């Protein structure tokens, strides 16, 4: 059983630690993004944390 799932900030699906990436917004806030939304986050120019 995988614990401590967090939600993607873009699509709000639950993601595990191995299937997510962290990005930083222009305001300096860290957001969790799943792999499916990672390409969208890079297009929006979020920086990798």
d(C-alpha 9, C-alpha 6), whole Å: 9
> Domain boundaries in the chain?
6-48
- 1-49: pLDDT as tens digits: 556 688 999 999 999 888 999 999 889 999 999 999 999 988 887 777 6
d(C-alpha 41, C-alpha 3), whole Å: 25
- Given this model, what pLDDT does residue 1 score? 54
- Given this model, what pLDDT does residue 3 score? 65
Cα–Cα distances (Å) from 10 to 1, 34, 36, 45, in that order, read: 25, 8, 10, 14
């Amino acid at each position: 059983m995988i614990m401590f799932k967090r939600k993607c900030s873009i699509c709000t699906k639950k993601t595990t630690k191995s299937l997510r990436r962290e990005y930083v917004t222009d305001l300096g806030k860290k957001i969790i993004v799943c792999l499916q939304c990672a390409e969208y986050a890079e297009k929006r120019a979020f920086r990798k944390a």
